[in-house]
């Protein structure tokens, strides 16, 4: 059974750790993350972007796959299925598909429109017993080879969104999706502290978890971050392990091409990445 992230993050805040959101892209990926969370007795959040949802055949397919894996693989740790960077329309699709949590990314709307749409989704998710993440201040990232620096959120806008009753808030603090450029200035702890002061106990979400130095991750957790998103690092470890397997000519051995064997090293590599992150975020044995 899926749960919302509310209790996970309340416990994380109270005990000084963060819960990882690991984005999923296919069956192997999902199975690896669930089995590792179980092995480490850690709560886990499965993130699904709109693109990944489409790739896997639609949000209903993802929801059915995750629920069936939890049952068949005897996963007993808390698992949330969460829409990552949802559009307004995508949020409604995931509500209908049986997700337990959604993110509405209204950061590109003027703040009044972000507030109006978030408010509406607060009411809907409350009624459905789901959790809701909102975003203020856009998170940078790579687009067509150009890396945009992350914006820093306005603490007053964060308060306006937090006061609507969202479960958690993603505030931009100079974080970026994907790899960080060499001239990245690091996380703005000044912004994080100012946001925290305005939003009180509201759990904060750190996007762009790939490549942030460990000391910055720990400091962010100590300042109110309770959920950390990781995607690129799993992609990189999956790709590297698959490439190594092919370059060694292993895919050509035996009875010819076997997709189960080809994808196995990547699936193992994701387990290792998830183990490292769960250890760093401090959520092992917190299920
Ligand atoms: P990375 O791809 O940088 O790990 O970020 C993931 C993320 O924030 C998903 O929302």
CATH code of residue 60 = 3.20.20.70
Counted domains in the chain: 1
Are the beta carbons of 155 and 191 closer than 8 angstroms?
Answer: yes
Q: Would you say residue 121 lies in a domain? A: yes
Q: What pLDDT shows up at residue 256?
A: 60
Catalytic residue set: 84
Compute the CA torsion angle 235, 237, 242, 243 (nearest 10 deg): 100
Q: Would you say residue 287 lies in a domain? A: no
Tell which atom from ligand 1 comes closest to the C-alpha of 103: 10
- Cα 187 to averaged position of ligand 1 atoms, centre (Å): 15
Tell which atom from ligand 1 comes closest to the C-alpha of 141: 3
Q: Would you say residue 253 lies in a domain? A: no
Q: Would you say residue 246 lies in a domain? A: no
Q: Would you say residue 23 lies in a domain? A: yes
Q: Would you say residue 239 lies in a domain? A: no
| Both structure tokens of 60 | 């209903």
pTM equals 0.96
CA-based angle 179:100:52, to the nearest 5? 40
The span from the CA of 177 to the CA of 158, in Å, is: 20
| Both structure tokens of 87 | 């559009």
Query: Which amino acid residue places its CA nearest to atom 5 of ligand 1?
Result: 208
Q: What pLDDT shows up at residue 115?
A: 92
Instruction: Name residues of the chain where pLDDT drops below 50.
Output: none
Query: What residues line ligand 1, using a CB cutoff of 6 Å?
Result: 23, 47, 84-85, 177-178, 207-210, 229-233
Q: What pLDDT shows up at residue 269?
A: 98
Q: Name the E strands within the chain.
A: 19-23, 44-48, 79-86, 101-104, 131-136, 141-143, 146-148, 168-171, 204-206, 225-230
- Cα 232 to averaged position of ligand 1 atoms, centre (Å): 6
Q: Would you say residue 261 lies in a domain? A: no
For 83, the 3-state DSSP assignment is strand
Domain that holds residue 94: 6-231+272-281
Q: Would you say residue 251 lies in a domain? A: no
């Amino acid at each position: 059974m899926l749960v919302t992230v509310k209790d996970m993050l309340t416990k994380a805040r109270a005990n000084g750790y963060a819960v990882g959101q690991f984005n999923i892209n296919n069956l192997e990926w999902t199975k690896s993350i669930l089995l590792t969370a179980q092995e480490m007795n850690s709560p886990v959040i499965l993130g699904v972007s709109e693109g990944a949802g489409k790739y896997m055949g639609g949000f209903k397919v993802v929801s059915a796959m995750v629920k069936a894996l939890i049952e068949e693989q005897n996963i007993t740790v808390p698992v949330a299925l969460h829409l990552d960077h949802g559009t307004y329309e995508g949020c409604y699709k995931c509500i209908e598909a049986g997700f337990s949590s959604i993110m509405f990314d209204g950061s590109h709307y003027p703040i009044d429109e972000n507030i109006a749409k978030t408010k509406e989704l607060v009411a809907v998710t409350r009624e459905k017993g789901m959790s809701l993440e909102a975003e203020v201040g856009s998170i940078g990232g790579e687009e067509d080879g150009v890396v945009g620096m992350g914006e820093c959120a306005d603490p007053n806008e964060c308060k306006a969104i937090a006061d609507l009753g969202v479960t958690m808030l993603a505030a931009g603090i100079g974080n970026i999706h994907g790899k960080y450029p060499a001239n990245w200035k690091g996380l703005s702890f000044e912004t994080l502290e100012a946001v925290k002061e305005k939003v009180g106990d509201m759990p904060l979400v750190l996007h762009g978890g790939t490549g942030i130095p460990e000391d910055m991750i720990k400091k962010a957790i100590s300042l109110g971050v309770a959920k950390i998103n990781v995607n690129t690092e799993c992609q990189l470890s999956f790709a590297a392990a698959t490439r190594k397997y092919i370059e060694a000519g292993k895919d050509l051995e035996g009875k010819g091409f076997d997709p189960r064997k080809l994808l196995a090293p990547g699936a193992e590599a994701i387990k290792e990445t998830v183990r490292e992150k769960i250890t760093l975020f401090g959520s092992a044995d917190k299920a």
